[in-house]
A and B are shown apart, each in its own frame.
Chain A
């Protein structure tokens, strides 16, 4: 018998949105979505999907279920994990889940995962590129009473145990635990695979399951925020760059060195 994997993915604003197109509404403390730039599946969550698919390539995996909590889902975007090779997609759509509040999100995800029922491994991204919190997976583990290991660059499963290479800035750690466990995956795992034509066809035929917070027995009380956003603003920089010019680019390089010397920077 193989294992059952749940992957948690979030729809986020494209982090490659150029800084010039990044705008904030300071009255509502919300980011204004950039015109014409569609949202994406959070990059690290694609790494998590990839980790699940690699396990499926190498060991017995019965099922990969993808779960997302949010609003205004763009179906083409959210189906990407399916076209990469995941089996099933569950979308929990609810206005009452504020995207900043990790507590509300983790509570909702925990309920959704309990409703899914059987699972051996929960994979998440290391952090969501909107609020950069890296909290939801740790919250999920605490709420479900499971061990958690973060920043995986390699994931191995055997005999009910999981072994993780945990990425550090100078090397890695090997951390092990019994399944079930919550793991967060980092980009050091390697590039997520591109969906192939067959995957895209299969995904287009699948209909996601849609739940609301009420379907999970959650009310506004249980989702009350633990953190309040009081201000959101774009920092202003008063830096003025001095562009060094020359007769040609090589000359500019020479002049740059001389200028840095003048400033005693080299």
Chain B
């Protein structure tokens, strides 16, 4: 048994960034163990993405082809990945914490009776045991836990997006591409995806934005978001929100930042009336600078912020926005 097997994800523009991140994580683990890094790419996009996967750190690519993989059905993808596992017999299987990976990782682990670590942000190899030690936020980000896998079975890890920096594409890297037909039985697809409805976001995507303006319960209602949109427009940024305001229906859930919302990594995150609960910070802690406007000097957000004003946003924001506008236009 040996080797690290990555569950690859392919989008319209080829290899997804999460897969490059997983390959970087795999290379990090392999530096300690010497294990080979294999990635399974499923479906018709696999061949086109293979060379990129090698350039990003894979030693070997399984291009997994089956009629059932033409449609993105989770049950078929799990069956295909399991078949690759039987071939590769990995000691480590890596998934991204994506809508697909967050479910398939645990399901694979349970099928094999082995452990799985969810939402990992750091992974190392214990030099004494050769087993993986994973760091994961728990209790909504209030604490960090280090976990390891007893015994000698497969170790399944689900990795938080943007937790690992991808390697630059190195086109001089070489690797092997194997075409693999798992021969899936159509009856394995029991939960069937029938439709996907995408919420189109206007302007800059929240996840990619360099400037984010976030509103929390302290802004008091849906109307005040217009002011935040205005500020975001001036700065060429995007608007985000806490779960409290999404649950209250002041803004759509697609704006939610946090543990169960989006992860943002802007240069500057301007928060207005957000208390800074750990579950919110879980989605924005990697922001380079957090600015807090909150009337409670003891609010948790000030512990994570670089700059802050203690005050009522109704008094602070008009002059702040006006001055920002003048500065940006000058």
Contacts and interface: CB of A to CB of B under 8 A. Distances in A.
Interface of A: 13, 15-16, 18-19, 22, 24, 29, 31, 100, 102-103, 106, 126-127, 129-135, 138-139, 141-143, 147-151, 166-178, 181, 186-188, 191, 225-235, 237, 239, 241-244, 248-254, 256-261, 263, 265-266
Contacts of B315: 248-250, 253
Interface string B243-255: 1000100000110
- Looking at chain A's contact residues, the main secondary structure is mixed
B316 A252 contact: yes
Contact of B110 (A106, A134, A248, A263): A106
B306 interface: yes
Contacts of A244: 307-309
A249 B309 contact: yes
B103 A138 contact: yes
Contacts of B323: 253-254, 257-258
Interface residues of B, number: 86
9 contacts: A19-B278, A129-B140, A131-B145, A147-B191, A168-B196, A176-B194, A229-B145, A229-B147, A243-B302
Given A103-B115, A138-B106, A227-B147, A149 B191 contact: yes
A130 B320 contact: no
Contacts of B243: 187
A135 B116 CA distance: 8
A253 B149 contact: no
A170 B319 contact: no
A227 B122 CA distance: 16
Contacts of B322: 254
B86 to A, nearest CB: 17
Interface string B163-205: 0000000000000000000000000001111111111010000
B217 to A, nearest CB: 12
Contact of A134 (B102, B191, B278): B102
Nearest to A239: B304
B247 A225 contact: no
A44 to B, nearest CB: 9
Given A142-B111, A233-B144, A241 B306 contact: yes
The 4 tightest CB contacts between A and B, nearest first, are: A226-B115, A253-B320, A249-B315, A257-B323
B17 interface: no
Interface stretch (B21-29, B44-52, B57-65, B131-139): B131-139
B144 A237 contact: no
B119 interface: yes
Contacts of B190: 147, 177-178
Given A22-B143, A172-B197, A256-B320, 19 more contacts: A19-B142, A133-B118, A135-B106, A138-B110, A150-B102, A171-B199, A175-B191, A227-B149, A230-B147, A230-B148, A232-B145, A234-B143, A241-B305, A249-B312, A257-B320, A257-B323, A260-B268, A260-B307, A261-B327
Contacts of A132: 118-119, 136-140, 259
B110 to A, nearest CB: 4
A253 B103 contact: no
Contacts of B318: 250, 253
A250 B316 contact: yes
B300 interface: yes
